[in-house]
Amino acid sequence: MHAIEVSHLTKKFGALTALNDVNFSVERGETFGFLGPNGAGKTTTIRTLTGISNPTSGTASIFGHDIQKDTIAARQSMGIVSETSNVYDDLTAWQNMIFSAELYHVRRDIREEKAKELLTTFDLYERRHDKAHGFSKGLKRRLTIAMGLVNNPQVLFLDEPTSGLDVQSNLIIREVITGLIHEGVTVFLTTHNIEEANMICDRVAIINKGTLAAIDAPERLKKTIQSVQSIVVSFDHVSLDQLDEVRNLSMVNDAVKEGDKFRLYTEDPATVIESVMEYAKARSLRVISISTLGPSLEDVFIKLTGLQRTGGLIHAID
């Protein structure tokens, strides 16, 4: 039995098709990344999988429980951490935890024990009697995730768990997620942090304009675009004026400045290395470092979603 099974899922809002015949399944214990640009359909997918929103057509099930027909049983095995840290500001951290436990029918005799365990894990126990409105963004995020784990979920939906957080909160959250993965919890992760997905996901799906563009293991996805290789080179003197010059070198498809380095995209790394060395000699520049990189998951994402790099930033193509 799959942990999550989605079949021909379509969701329309009037004339807008937010999800278009989406199909995928997630195995028990798998960490599944769901990537896509803003407005691609990530949140709609999560809202449909968690039963908040009904699909226009198609089905979704959690551990065999149809989310529309057997909603409560399906939700009982879920933990949901939404993109917004939706804690109750006027309740204390402890009251938030107990309320969440009550909503998820956690037995009275283990509610407090579980709340204490999770608040301790997220380094919030000392602040348990403080109202959440006094918490920083990082503390609220930690409390949101703790609330999502109060029922020992078998499948955890994480929507942008570490976006814009301080280093300490990031570390704690990543450590907890890694621990859950090792415990065999199925994790459904949406994130803008493609490197994060690359590091922790067994498989990723890339959704664009409501349609799944790709679904596979990160390394296999990278192999599909071997043409997008790159050379990263650093000279002893780097200026922005050099960007156009290196971009015009032989066999360079595109170039971006990344800090004190240039990244040159190419299908022929060997020729580009030769060109770079000749360019450095001609401009009396010393090459500090040079390395060849394969395509990253971000490259795959950009290629499949039709986004475009400009000066190190990523822009949508209209």
Partner 1 sequence: MLSTEEKERTNAWFVRISHEISAAWAISRKDMVTYYIKPNIIVSGILFPVFMFLAFAIGKNAPPGTLIPGLIAITLLFSASSIEPVSIPIERRVKTFDRLLSAPISLHSLVFGESVSGFLYSMGIACLPLVIGIVMFSTSIEHVLALIIAMALTAFCFATLGTLFAAYPTENVGEVMSMLNTVRLPLIFISGVFIPISQIPQIGQIIALFSPLTYGNDMISYAYTGTSLFSPVWDIVALLIFILIFQFVAHRLYKKFNE
Site string for partner 1, 275-314 (x = CB under 8 A): ----------------------------------------
**CB of 277: closest distance to partner 1 in angstroms?**
55
Residue 100 binding partner 1, by CB under 8 A? yes
**What are the tokens at 36?**
């896509």
SS3 39: coil
Q: Considering the complex, state which of residue 186 and residue 266 has its C-beta at the smaller distance from partner 1.
A: 186
Restricting to residues 31-70, name those near partner 1 by CB under 8 A.
50-54
d(C-alpha 210, C-alpha 18), whole Å: 5
Q: Which range of residues in 80-88, 175-183, 239-247, 251-259 is near partner 1 by CB under 8 A?
A: 80-88
> Contact with partner 1 (CB under 8 A): which of 27, 69, 102, 113?
102
d(C-alpha 61, C-alpha 279), whole Å: 58
Under 8 Å between Cβ of 142 and 169: yes
SS3 311: coil
Q: Considering the complex, state which of residue 65 and residue 263 has its C-beta at the smaller distance from partner 1.
A: 65
SS3 25: strand
> Contact with partner 1 (CB under 8 A): which of 24, 94, 104, 122?
104
Q: Which range of residues in 75-83, 182-190, 207-215, 232-240 is near partner 1 by CB under 8 A?
A: 75-83
φ/ψ of 258, rounded to 5, equals -120, 90
Residue 267 binding partner 1, by CB under 8 A? no
Q: Considering the complex, state which of residue 100 and residue 162 has its C-beta at the smaller distance from partner 1.
A: 100
d(C-alpha 277, C-alpha 182), whole Å: 46
For residue 80, the surrounding DSSP H or E stretch is strand 78-81
Under 8 Å between Cβ of 207 and 34: yes
Q: Considering the complex, state which of residue 62 and residue 231 has its C-beta at the smaller distance from partner 1.
A: 62
SS3 159: strand
**CB of 37: closest distance to partner 1 in angstroms?**
21
Residue 91 binding partner 1, by CB under 8 A? yes
Q: Which bin fits 50, alpha (ψ -120 to 50), beta or left (φ > 0)?
A: alpha
Restricting to residues 115-154, name those near partner 1 by CB under 8 A.
147
**CB of 108: closest distance to partner 1 in angstroms?**
9
The amino acid at residue 307 is L
**CB of 284: closest distance to partner 1 in angstroms?**
58
Q: Which range of residues in 102-110, 166-174, 189-197, 214-222 is near partner 1 by CB under 8 A?
A: 102-110
d(C-alpha 302, C-alpha 280), whole Å: 30
Distances (CA, A) of 271 to 140, 249, 292, 299: 51, 10, 12, 21
**CB of 58: closest distance to partner 1 in angstroms?**
14
Residue 9 binding partner 1, by CB under 8 A? no
**CB of 27: closest distance to partner 1 in angstroms?**
23
d(C-alpha 233, C-alpha 34), whole Å: 32
Strand partners, 6: 24, 60
Where do contacts with partner 1 occur on this chain (CB under 8 A)?
50-54, 71-73, 75-76, 78, 80, 82, 84, 86-91, 95, 99-100, 102-105, 147
